[in-house]
Structure 1
Amino acid sequence: MTPLPDRYCPVDGTRVPAESFAWCCPVCHGPLDLDFAPTPAPLKSLAGRVNSLWRYAETLPLAAPSVSLGEGRTPLVELKDGIWTKLDFLTPTLSFKDRGAVLLAELALRLRPRQVLADSSGNAGTAIAAYCARAALPCTVYVPEGVSTKKLEQIRAHGARVRVVDGDREAAARAAREAADEPEVFYASHVFNPYFLHGTKTYTHELWEDLGGRLPDVLVLPVGNGTLLLGAALAVAELYAAGLLDRRPALYAVQAAAVAPLAHAFEEGADDLVDTAPTTGTGPTFAEAIAVPRPLRARQILRAVRDSGGRFLTVTEDQIRHAQLDLASRGLYVESTGVVCWAAVRDGVLGSRSAAVPLCGAGLKTGLAGS
């Protein structure tokens, strides 16, 4: 069995052994990164490989899967001239979170915990529950009040226990973290655990392969906790370092205007979240899955966007609703959070630049915005 890489804290450098159940930095209690710098395979060598994200084995810290459900390799469709979308709602649990969840479940299977815990606003919880079911691992998912009944139904159908926490998304996360400190508990956090990011990066590796060894001018990505964007940044860095890209795309991060702490920090020129928020930045939103008021990897997200020459875009509730209906009229029924990238760019903000947008979750999970 391939040895697991160690984890480390990107803030203070503290190292955490690969086999440890520790889920955060023991010094600053922040998220961890992975001591792992892979070299992706050239385009020609990918032909004939398994038709899942595991075809990029050289780039994954766990390259011998036993719990795969065939995740990844989602279709690429051109929405309009120069703007492509990957249909990441066509994954086993109907959201892109499967990309990271399979790596967390595979890691948990190697560590053999007595319990797997997760916290989620819905999609990550369903993905963790499904892959724990596949791995025959006991799983409990903490969710806040108001989560879509369809997502709760899906989590329970996979055999996971659901703990509904009084309060918001952050309250659910706090409850899960308290329980995660118990012995032999694996906290399958899509925020703290870097294995999740190395799963989401396969979105960008697939896009590179599907476009014949190139990437568009701009990668447009939804940002709440930033797992898909940070995964994209990892993939771009890997491909560029290997000489498989001649230029890096700009990363455009999209937030709902109602909850846009990162967009506000970016506009202020800050390296981290700022204490003063705009008066319009704290309300409810149809994009509930990215309504994260204090993302824990804020510094990394802001740096990744700036280093790429990218920017932040925000979308209103009307834009989200209209984008969802527009996609449905094109044959694509996507949940309200999953349409924010299309909402941000469909009216021409990118000009003549080529771009890719992900459609991250199926519309059956939430229904139409405002209905």
Structure 2
Amino acid sequence: MRTPTASAPSAARPAPLAYRCPADGSHAPVESPAWRCPTCGGTWDLDFAPSSPVPLKSLAGRVNSLWRYEEALPLAGPAGGLTLGEGRTPLVPLTDHVSAKLDFLMPTLSFKDRGAVMLVELARRLGPGRVARVVADSSGNAGTAVAAYCARAALPCAVYVPEATSPKKTEQIRAHGAHVVLVPGDREAAAVAGRAAADEPGTFYASHVHNPFFLHGTKTYVYELWEDLGGRLPDTLVVPVGNGTLLLGAWLAVNELHAHGLVDRRPALVAVQAEAVSPLAAAFHAGAQDLAVSASPAPARPTLAEGIAIPRPPRAAQILRAVRESGGTFLTVTEPRIRAAQLDLAARGLFVESTAAACWAAVTADPGRVAGATVVPLCGAGAKTGLAAG
């Protein structure tokens, strides 16, 4: 990325980056305040592809954070820039063929740190002339991550969350110095409020859904697997899906590694949703390419997996396409299964929030639906929500 202001780090990429709308081909510079395509209102992709492969044999001597994969990132490493030591989380076996990646051991206790560091570093590099404050909307974890990195970058931050968000999560956001706005209604209501605030002058919208820099942070999840497995990837990646930010980041990384000849096959993506809120699973099994635009989303039922309770994800078409291209599928899990999986993981020494237990619930409910070496992410710590009631 070309340095947008004189105060930005000199290590930025030499070539300018641009947002690109996959629907109509529109472009905008990353310095633009437009957080979505002004022509069709769609989500941006980032017009970026790594020009050189990540050198596996050279990684051992690099910084112990996700910035070690500098060839694959749209922002160059933070020489004097932003980091909390995010990434490099452990991979531990659960069964003979299923392993868990412990992303709840991130600085803010969720995988959202992977994308948040990229968003806030971008806001920091854009400089005070363009960014007076940062706004995010979230069910809790993404907002916490953005708040933490804004605190590190000394950027004012406001986070819009549904009023029913876990008090432990809102307490964590406030502890980082961010202003919490409790929005009546569900996750979509919080998104609407956040987007309205994002349109105010001088605001950087740190949207983990709309801003593609977030996906280029979450893709480091797969780069770490590839490194830890000695240049291989597992046969199956099981991923929880609400807005799909981890799944889409994972698919970015898989395709980049394959394009550079660093892996010879691509793993199947198995996407997991709570049965109570499963619009993507329904669309996938109906053979749809997207969620029906004219139809109202099915009423969201209560679910323990609040982090993936998204009735209408903006990147639905991309998520469905990625799962199909990978040869994967969608699985849904019931509330009793989620609760049992959380308790089972805790009995194994891994206390995660109920959303993070959804993938383990899917794998244990139907072991025949996943093949070969499999990795599940444990995305958020149990300290954020406590044990599921029941």
TM-score class normalised by the smaller sequence: over 0.9
**What's the counterpart of residue 6 of structure 2?**
none
| 1:223 correspondence with 2:236 | no
Distance 1:313 1:162, change over 3 A: same
Q: Is 1:111 the equivalent of 2:121?
A: no
Give the structure 2 partner of residue 370 of structure 1.
Answer: 389
Distance in 2 (CA, whole Å) between partners of 1:278 and 1:76 is 37
Amino acid at match of 1:359: L
Alignment partner, residue 330 of structure 1: 348
- The partner residue of 2:273 within 239, 255, 272 is 255
- Residue 176 of structure 1 deviates from its aligned partner by 1.1
Structure 1, unaligned runs of 5 or more: none
SS in 2 for 1:137: coil
Residues 75, 86 of structure 1: 8 Å contact kept:
yes
Quick one: which of 59, 77, 82 aligns to 2:97?
82
Structure 2 length as normaliser, TM-score?
0.92
Once residues 352 and 103 of structure 1 are traced to their aligned partners in structure 2, the CA distance between those partners, rounded to angstroms, is 33
Letter in 2 for 1:327: L
Name which of structure 1's ranges 195-204 and 342-351 shifts more when overlaid on structure 2: 342-351
How far apart, in 1, do the equivalents of 2:147 and 2:259 lie?
A: 35
Specify the SS of the correspondent of 1:313: strand
**Whole-angstrom CA distance in 1 between matches of 2:211 and 2:92:** 31
Query: Does residue 181 of the first structure (1) align with residue 196 of the second (2)?
Result: no
User: Given the superposition, is the C-alpha separation of residues 344 and 278 from structure 1 closer, same or farther in structure 2, using an over 3 Å criterion?
Assistant: farther
**Residues 235, 351 of structure 1: alpha-carbon distance in 2 compared, 3 angstrom cutoff:** closer
1:351 CA displacement: 5.7
The one-letter code matched in structure 1 to 2:120 is: A
Q: Which amino acid aligns with 1:362?
A: A
Find the partner of 1:46 among 47, 53, 59.
59
Amino acid at match of 1:136: A
The answer (yes or no) to whether the contact 2:236–2:370 under 8 Å persists in 1 is: no
Structure 1 314/50 Cα, relative in aligned 2: closer, same or farther at 3 Å?
Answer: same
Q: 1:36 pairs with 40, 43, 48, which one?
A: 48
**Contact 2:235/2:371, CA 8 A, preserved across alignment:** no
Q: Using the alignment, how far apart are the partners of 2:300 and 2:120 within structure 1?
A: 34
Relative distance call for 1:264 and 1:108 in structure 2 (3 A) is same
Distance (whole Å) between structure 2 residues aligned to residue 224 and residue 236 of structure 1: 20
List aligned pairs for 1:34-183, cutoff 5 A: 34-38=46-50, 39-65=52-78, 66-112=81-127, 113-183=131-201
Query: CA offsets, 1:322-368, max 9 Å, x none?
Result: 00000000000000000111110024234651110000000000011
**Could you list the runs of 4 or more consecutive aligned residues of structure 1 that deviate by over 2 angstroms after TM superposition?**
1-4, 274-279, 349-352
| Residue 22 of structure 2: aligned partner | 10
Aligned residues: 370
8 Å Cα contact 2:68-2:77 kept in structure 1: no
User: SS where residue 11 of structure 1 aligns?
Assistant: coil
The yes-or-no answer on 1:356 pairing with 2:375 is yes
Distance 2:107 2:303 in 1: 26
Deviations 1:119-160 (A, max 9, x none): 011000000000000000000001111000000000000000
For structure 2, which runs of at least 5 residues remain unmatched after alignment?
1-9
1:58, 1:22 → 2: CA distance? 27
Offset at residue 42 of structure 1 (A): 2.7
Distance 1:58 1:351, change over 3 A: closer
- The 1-side partners of 2:296 and 2:272 are apart by 17
Range with greater deviation from structure 2 (218-227 or 349-358):
349-358
Note if 1:243 corresponds to 2:261.
Answer: yes
Amino acid at match of 2:266: R
2:5 — aligned with what? none
Among 254, 267, 273, the residue aligned to 2:291 = 273
Q: 2:363, 2:370 within 8 Å by CA — same for their partners in 1?
A: no
Shift of 1:111: 1.3
Aligned to 2:4: none
Contact preservation (8 Å) 2:89, 2:106: yes
Secondary structure in 2 aligned to 1:74? coil
Q: Given that residues 40 and 56 in structure 1 are in contact (C-alpha distance below 8 angstroms), is that contact kept between their aligned partners in structure 2?
A: no
Q: Which residue in 2 is equivalent to 1:198?
A: 216
How far 1:276 sits from its partner (Å)? 6.5
Q: Which amino acid aligns with 1:349?
A: G
| Partner Cα distance (2:122, 2:300) in 1 | 36
Matching residue's letter, 1:329? A
What amino acid is the match of 1:155? Answer: I
C-alpha contact 1:218 1:355 (8 A) present in aligned 2: yes
| Counterpart Cα distance in 1 of 2:371 and 2:108 | 35
